[in-house]
């Protein structure tokens, strides 16, 4: 059965956009509308506006806007129809045809069974915590000041000795093989014992709140080991532990920062003082998995590990790993000698918040820490000290930070700044640099400084797609009464993403040909300039429908449902265009507008190639190759500037 826009409109109309968005971020009423910190860019002042009258939202800094469905889609990083499904289910509205777009099962049957076993075991342990067999465990939790609400939120449990977990799971119909694979039970003679006997049980979840395993903590000081984790299996992998990420990701996205801790007790304690963007890696090394996971919700990483020597070394090791990956990482300076859990228990809430607010660069942290006992008269010790700092600083690409730390090292060691600089340059020789210099062209971290279009310029370019002058990009500013234009204009505007402009340009082309075939001949000549395979296939399908007299225009829903025969994702793409750019694409494209769309697409291609050559320069020590790649970049910059020059003259 076909999906209809009428059904989607009924969801948008019935959904209270303020209530839905309010589930994700904090809103403040301002006049008839609401404002908030924008979760889609690094925002400090409320720049997102929500209009309940028009059922739309808009950030006037980063440009993100749309309706209630596109907000849920953007915030959760899911597909358009998945977001529609979530909202429709909450409203108990049935959308015909949506089953065709349901996600395929992410987990196989064995994984699903293990998740279910862990879920049942969690409830088993949690229920036992209130039994008479768990008095000592409850007393321990009370001593650690863990409240009833925290026990409930984190599903903390206890496993008394001789607890019959195996019998309980068998009674519920789980097989012996699956129970043993979960690692919850082991055989001891004729008995089946729980692996976490006489331990407090802390369930560990994945990003989707599936319980992947457990960590058990002793309550008797004479028992060891202090902590015991589940055994590795198909769902529990020690290199991929991120305790509390499923709960922390919402707050981390709003703040654009994630606080990385050592253990789950630190997470629980910081949660009690309303710090909710924390995860614990539980003694494991930071991995590529963690970077991929955390970077979905935040760009800034803050390390808050124990204040002892082991904690400091771990923080510096993780910092080096993250800086090498170009991650924005700072360290929370903890000179108390206590871990975060101990600080909370000591009533140091204000101190903790100050520490989190005043994080420092890892190289600064290393400099302060290792200089405490430095004998500047001992040349060997001075050399070792500098090497320790530079082992981290050499991965930094910001010249200002590098210069500041070099000056600081000069003050500490009493060595000349130039001497420190020379040592630093030698330390960088064996790593891949992020700064390329070729004649007068400088590309630093893939940023091209000779042209920095502001928001007004990009908006003007995007507006020119339409035949009618003055049409607005995405959402009209006059849709809101609360916006203070003079305040927005004074904001520091981040460089507009070429990728966003490219996507909008592609959407404009698709929407125009869905409406009519006036530009079909010109588009057919230039369609190969579109590199996105999905967009190209969508356009070719529409063109063929015109040529075969199966489509006469002005009925985009017909194409959206017919194109499912090619691939259902193309159907979703068309519906997403309609709902994401509903205010921007009401006007037909002119010939000049089509040219502008292809300019935006070409600018993205050029930038993409520049970044590719930049990486190639970084990956080779061959000077001839470096020069060759730099020459290619130079030619690409010329092509890019021709487009900018053409647009300036318009």
- Please name which of 468, 534, 474 lies closest in space to residue 506, comparing C-alpha atoms: 534
* 3 state SS of 12: helix
Taking Cα atoms as reference points, which of 382, 363, 377, 269 lies closest to residue 315? 363
Is residue 622 predicted with pLDDT exceeding 90?
Answer: no
pLDDT at 516 over 80: yes
Q: How confident is the model at residue 648 (pLDDT cuts 50, 70, 90)?
A: confident
Question: Average pLDDT, whole number, for the chain?
Answer: 85
For residues 118 and 141, what is the distance between their CA atoms, to the nearest angstrom?
Answer: 22
Select from 3.40.640.10, 3.30.1490.120, 1.10.357.10, 3.90.980.10 the CATH code of 106-236: 3.90.980.10
Structure-block tokens of residue 400: 């200002």
Tell me what pLDDT residue 623 has. Answer: 85
Q: What is the DSSP letter of 433?
A: -
Give residue 585's pLDDT band: very low, low, confident or very high (50, 70, 90): low
CB-neighbour burial class of residue 585 (10 A; exposed 0-12, middle 13-18, buried 19+): buried
Average pLDDT of span 76-99: 87
- Helix (H), strand (E) at residue 185: strand 185-188
Which pair of structure tokens corresponds to residue 606? 């050029």
Q: What is the pLDDT of residues 181-207, one digit of tens each?
A: 999 999 988 899 999 999 999 999 999
Angle between helix axes 417-428 and 379-393 (nearest 10 degrees) is 60
The CA distance from 561 to 565, in Å, is: 8
Residues 39-62 pLDDT 10s = 888 777 889 999 999 999 999 888
Distances (CA, A) of 83 to 167, 175, 310: 41, 36, 44
pLDDT for 451 beyond 60: no
Give the rounded distance of the alpha carbon of 616 from its chain centre: 26
Helices (H), 477-530: 485-489, 498-515, 520-526
* Residue 398 region by backbone torsions, left for phi larger than 0, else alpha for psi between -120 and 50, else beta: beta
Mean pLDDT for the stretch of residues 265-269: 95
How confident is the model at residue 454, as a pLDDT?
37
Reported as a pLDDT band with limits 50, 70 and 90, residue 336 is confident
Give the model's pLDDT for residue 100.
67
Say yes or no to pLDDT of 109 above 90: no
Length of the chain: 650
Helix (H) or strand (E) holding 35: strand 33-36
Q: What is the pLDDT of residue 468?
A: 37
Please check the confidence at residue 352 and state whether its pLDDT lies above 70.
yes
- Torsions phi, psi for 442 (to 5 deg): -120, 125
Percent of the chain with pLDDT over 70: 87
For 206-332, strand residue ranges (E) read 211-218, 227-229, 257-261, 278-280, 300-303, 328-331
Determine the Cα–Cα distance for residues 264 and 284; give it in Å rounded to an integer: 13
Q: Is it the case that residue 492 has pLDDT exceeding 70?
A: no
CATH number of the 5-91 domain? 3.90.580.10
Distance CA 393, CA 363 (A): 6
Statement: residue 452 has pLDDT above 50 = no
User: Percent of the chain at pLDDT above 90?
Assistant: 61
Q: What is the pLDDT of residue 151?
A: 96
Neighbour count for residue 449 (Cβ, 10 Å): 9
Average pLDDT over residues 326-330: 93
- What are residue 328's DSSP bridge partners? 300
- Nearest 5°: the CA angle 521, 569, 296 is 115
Please check the confidence at residue 493 and state whether its pLDDT lies above 80: no
**Is the separation of the CB atoms in 81 and 575 below 8 Å?**
yes
Nearest to 585, CA basis, from 489, 506, 486, 643? 506
pLDDT at 546 over 80: yes
Over residues 211-239, the mean pLDDT reads 92
For the segment 594-607, the average pLDDT, to the nearest whole number, is: 91
Q: Tokens standing for 96?
A: 């015909």
Give me the mean pLDDT over the 473-481 stretch.
Answer: 36
How many C-beta neighbours within 10 Å does residue 162 have? 11
Q: pLDDT tens for residues 273-312?
A: 999 999 999 877 889 999 999 988 899 999 998 888 888 9
- CA-to-CA distance for 617 and 388, rounded, in angstroms? 27
pLDDT higher than threshold 90 for residue 13 = yes
Query: Beta strand pairing status for 33-36 and 48-51?
Result: antiparallel
pLDDT at 67: 93
Q: What is the pLDDT of residue 26?
A: 86
Question: What is residue 436's predicted lDDT score, i.e. its pLDDT?
Answer: 39
């Amino acid at each position: 059965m076909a999906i209809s826009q009428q059904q989607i409109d009924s969801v948008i109309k019935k959904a209270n956009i303020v209530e839905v968005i309010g589930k994700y971020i904090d809103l403040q009423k301002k006049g008839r509308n609401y404002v908030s910190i924008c979760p889609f860019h690094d925002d400090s002042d409320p720049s997102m506006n929500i209009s309940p009258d028009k059922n739309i939202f808009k950030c006037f800094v980063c440009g993100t806007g749309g309706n209630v469905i596109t907000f849920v889609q953007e915030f959760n990083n899911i597909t358009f129809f998945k977001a529609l499904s979530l909202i429709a289910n909450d409203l108990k509205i049935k959308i015909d045809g949506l089953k065709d777009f349901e996600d395929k099962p992410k987990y196989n049957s064995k994984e699903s069974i293990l998740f279910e076993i862990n879920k049942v075991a969690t409830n088993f342990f949690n229920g036992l915590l209130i039994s008479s067999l768990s008095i000592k465990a409850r007393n321990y939790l009370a001593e650690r000041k863990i409240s009833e609400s925290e026990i409930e939120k984190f599903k903390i449990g206890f496993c008394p000795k001789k607890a019959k977990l195996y019998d309980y799971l068998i009674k519920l119909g789980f097989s012996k093989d699956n129970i043993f694979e979960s690692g919850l039970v082991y055989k001891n003679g004729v008995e089946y014992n729980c692996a976490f006997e006489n331990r407090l049980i802390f369930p560990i979840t994945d990003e989707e709140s599936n319980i992947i395993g457990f960590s058990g903590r002793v309550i008797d000081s004479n028992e060891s080991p202090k902590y015991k984790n589940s055994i590795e299996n198909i769902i529990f992998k020690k290199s991929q532990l991120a305790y509390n990420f499923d709960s922390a990701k919402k707050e981390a996205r709003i703040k654009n920062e994630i606080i990385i801790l050592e253990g789950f007790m630190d997470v629980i304690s910081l949660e009690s003082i309303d710090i909710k963007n924390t995860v614990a890696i539980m003694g494991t090394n930071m991995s590529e998995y963690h970077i991929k996971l955390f970077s979905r919700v935040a760009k800034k990483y803050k390390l808050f590990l124990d204040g002892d020597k082991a904690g400091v070394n771990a923080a510096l090791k993780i910092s080096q790993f993250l800086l090498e990956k170009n991650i924005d990482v700072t360290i929370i300076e903890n000179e108390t000698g206590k871990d975060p859990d101990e600080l909370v228990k000591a009533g140091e809430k204000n101190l903790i918040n100050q520490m989190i607010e005043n994080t420092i660069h890892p190289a600064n942290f290393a400099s302060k820490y290792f200089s405490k006992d430095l004998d500047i008269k001992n040349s060997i010790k001075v050399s070792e000290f500098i090497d320790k700092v530079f082992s981290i600083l050499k991965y930094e690409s910001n010249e200002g930070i590098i210069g500041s730390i070099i000056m600081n090292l000069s003050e500490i060691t009493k060595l000349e700044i130039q001497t420190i600089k020379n040592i630093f340059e030698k330390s960088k020789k064996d790593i891949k640099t992020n700064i390329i210099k070729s004649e007068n062209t400088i590309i630093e971290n893939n940023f091209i400084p000779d042209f920095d279009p502001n928001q007004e310029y990009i908006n003007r370019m995007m507006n020119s797609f339409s035949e009618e002058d003055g049409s607005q990009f995405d959402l009209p500013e006059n849709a809101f009464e609360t916006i203070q234009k003079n305040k927005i204009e004074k904001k520091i505007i981040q460089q507009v993403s070429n990728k966003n402009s490219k996507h909008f340009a592609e959407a404009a082309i698709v929407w125009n040909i869905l409406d009519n075939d006036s530009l079909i001949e010109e588009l057919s000549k230039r369609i190969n300039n579109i590199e996105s395979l999905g967009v190209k296939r969508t356009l070719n399908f529409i063109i063929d429908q015109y040529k075969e007299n199966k489509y006469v225009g002005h009925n985009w829903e017909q194409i959206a449902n017919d194109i499912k025969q090619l691939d259902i994702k193309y159907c979703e793409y068309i519906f997403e265009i309609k709902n994401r750019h509903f205010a921007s694409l009401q006007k037909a494209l002119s010939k000049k507008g089509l040219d502008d769309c292809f300019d935006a697409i070409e600018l993205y291609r050029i930038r993409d190639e520049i970044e590719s050559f930049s990486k190639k320069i970084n990956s080779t020590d061959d000077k001839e190759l470096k020069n060759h790649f730099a020459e290619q970049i130079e030619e690409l910059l010329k092509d890019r500037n021709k487009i900018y020059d053409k647009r300036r003259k318009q």
